[in-house]
């Protein structure tokens, strides 16, 4: 069986967690392949909201094997909190959760360095969540990081202290101290907790599952436009959020890739700094924010809101080889009489293009819009895709024509049941 992959096509927060939860019953394995606790995968069912940060979204299904892959950077403190919340809701994560020994650890000093670095940037800050993710990936690339498997070694404490000493030298460059004593107590307690879980060579586990004919779903975090190589650099995350990241983040060969589910909102949002061509700074943008409850599930920060952007969507679809599209939060636009769609960019020299400039943060451009009629009624009352109002079906048909990929799911509310399949 192939590995199907689910990726976000915008700047994150597209609703990937909900779709994984909806698709999960079809799969035997759900695996996270990159990112860290800045992810906030929100699932809502039976009237309860659940937010996962590092644990795969298949954890609510007992028959599913959930794997945190080697491409993830894991914060043991956040991990313990996640597990405790699951336990309080009757979910025993120890029964079907496995963690790669090759996943990198986020240390308290990583969080401190993240904060110090962001503060030093002043008005040029990236918009980091300051959860230590960037510094952890820096150590990984610098070949000095600590991995989950290291906590099983007798010299872990010594290796930890050596890493912290190196981090203090970096902090001293900024004339700062790490100030991590309180966090360290929580960290080592969480490390003891982490040791109670099954730590595995996940690449062998996943490839054996493939040999056994198991169905596997790979779950990404953040969004394609935050990819370290192809995103709106430098306002990006620290890992490869594209489909290719699933190969390196789980240890699977490209020939095993099957369906690629691309998730996008019926509009567009972004958290933190960086370019956002269709951002709305007016009352319309605020209406979208309030209707969509567009506040970070991890940070609580208000998200920047704007109309859908087809040049960036086409770009993300191309890079990921998307085979199916899922449109989220269509109900947020219920009350709009007209809906705008950005089809192209007009550059300063008058050129009109649908390609994304490599230096989007420095490019002077104006979005080119078309306007479509809104549906003007509550979508949550509909239970079937083909019963939806004509206006939204026309909106979707236009997107399919432009993007050249079928929209197979429309989400019209946060609950599992508010997911309409074509």
Q: Where residue 142 sits, what CATH number does that domain have?
A: 1.10.300.10
- Give the pLDDT confidence score for residue 117 in this predicted structure: 84
Each residue of 389-420: pLDDT tens digit?
A: 999 999 999 999 999 999 999 999 988 889 99
Total domains, the chain: 3
Are residues 407 and 300 part of one domain?
yes
Are residues 84 and 10 part of one domain?
yes
Q: Is 411 annotated as a binding residue?
A: yes
Are residues 212 and 181 part of one domain?
no
Got the DSSP string for 270-314?
Answer: E-SSS--TTB--SHHHHHHHHHTT-B-TTT-PBPEEE-EEHHHHH
Q: Is 13 annotated as a binding residue?
A: yes
- Give the pLDDT confidence score for residue 300 in this predicted structure: 78
Are residues 124 and 85 part of one domain?
no
- Give the pLDDT confidence score for residue 416 in this predicted structure: 82
Q: Is 15 annotated as a binding residue?
A: yes
Instruction: Tell me which residue range forms the domain holding 251.
Output: 3-100+200-261
Are residues 293 and 362 part of one domain?
yes
Are residues 211 and 90 part of one domain?
yes
Q: Is 12 annotated as a binding residue?
A: yes
Are residues 406 and 305 part of one domain?
yes
What would the two tokens of residue 258 be?
């099957």
Are residues 12 and 146 part of one domain?
no
Q: Is 47 annotated as a binding residue?
A: no
115-118 own/partner pairs: CB under 8 Å, 24+ apart: 116/171, 116/174, 116/176, 117/174
User: Which CATH number do you get for residue 347?
Assistant: 3.90.170.10
- Give the pLDDT confidence score for residue 82 in this predicted structure: 93
Task: Give the residue from 209, 230, 261 where a domain finishes.
Answer: 261
Are residues 307 and 174 part of one domain?
no
Are residues 48 and 7 part of one domain?
yes
Task: List all residues 6 or more positions away from 271 whose beta carbon is below 8 Å from its beta carbon.
Answer: 11, 12, 13, 127, 296, 299, 301, 303, 304
Are residues 287 and 241 part of one domain?
no
User: Which CATH number do you get for residue 43?
Assistant: 3.40.440.10
Mean pLDDT by runs of 10 across the 422 residues of the chain is: 96 89 92 86 63 88 94 97 92 94 98 87 71 94 97 97 96 90 94 98 98 96 95 94 97 98 97 94 96 81 95 98 98 97 97 95 94 96 95 98 98 90 94
pTM: 0.93
- Give the pLDDT confidence score for residue 336 in this predicted structure: 97
Q: Is 16 annotated as a binding residue?
A: yes
- Give the pLDDT confidence score for residue 295 in this predicted structure: 87
Q: Known catalytic residues?
A: 13, 41, 140
Are residues 415 and 319 part of one domain?
yes
- Give the pLDDT confidence score for residue 51 in this predicted structure: 76
Q: Is 143 annotated as a binding residue?
A: yes
Q: Is 270 annotated as a binding residue?
A: no
């Amino acid at each position: 069986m192939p590995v199907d992959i689910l990726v976000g096509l915008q700047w994150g927060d597209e609703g990937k967690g909900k779709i994984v939860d909806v698709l999960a019953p079809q799969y035997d394995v759900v695996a996270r392949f990159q990112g860290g606790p800045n992810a906030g995968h929100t699932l809502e069912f039976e009237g309860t909201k659940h937010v996962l940060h590092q644990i795969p979204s298949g954890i609510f299904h007992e028959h599913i094997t959930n794997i945190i892959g080697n491409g993830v950077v894991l914060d043991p403190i956040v991990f313990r909190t996640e597990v405790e919340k699951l336990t309080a809701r009757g979910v025993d994560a120890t029964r079907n959760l496995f963690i790669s020994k090759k996943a990198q650890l986020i240390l308290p000093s990583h969080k401190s360095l993240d904060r110090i670095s962001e503060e030093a940037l002043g008005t040029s800050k990236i918009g980091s969540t300051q959860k230590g993710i960037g510094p952890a990936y820096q150590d990984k690339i610098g070949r000095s990081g600590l991995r989950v498997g290291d906590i099983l070694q007798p010299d872990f404490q010594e290796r930890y202290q050596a890493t912290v000493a190196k981090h203090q030298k970096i902090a001293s460059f900024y004339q700062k101290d790490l100030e991590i004593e309180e966090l360290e107590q929580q960290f080592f307690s969480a490390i003891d907790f982490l040791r109670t879980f099954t730590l595995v060579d996940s690449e062998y586990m996943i490839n054996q599952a493939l040999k056994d004919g198991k169905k596997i779903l790979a779950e990404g975090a953040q969004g394609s436009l935050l990819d370290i190589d192809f995103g709106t650099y430098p306002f990006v995350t620290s890992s490869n959020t594209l489909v290719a990241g699933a190969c390196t983040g789980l240890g699977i060969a490209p020939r095993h890739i099957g369906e690629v589910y691309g998730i996008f909102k019926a509009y567009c949002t972004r958290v933190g700094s960086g370019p956002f061509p269709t951002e709305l700074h007016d009352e319309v943008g605020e209406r979208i924010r309030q209707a969509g409850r567009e506040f970070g599930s991890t940070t609580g920060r208000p998200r920047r809101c704007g109309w859908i952007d087809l040049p960036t969507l086409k770009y993300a679809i191309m890079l990921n080889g998307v085979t199916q599209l899922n449109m989220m939060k269509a109900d947020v636009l219920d009350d709009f009489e007209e809906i705008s769609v950005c089809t192209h960019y007009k550059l300063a020299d008058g050129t009109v293009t649908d390609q994304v400039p490599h230096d989007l943060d420095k490019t002077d451009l104006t979005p080119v819009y078309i306007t479509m009629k809104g549906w003007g009624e509550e979508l949550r009352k509909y239970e079937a895709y083909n019963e939806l109002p004509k206006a939204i079906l026309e909106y979707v048909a236009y997107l399919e024509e432009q993007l050249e990929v079928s929209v197979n799911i429309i989400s019209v509310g946060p609950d599992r049941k508010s997911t309409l399949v074509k």
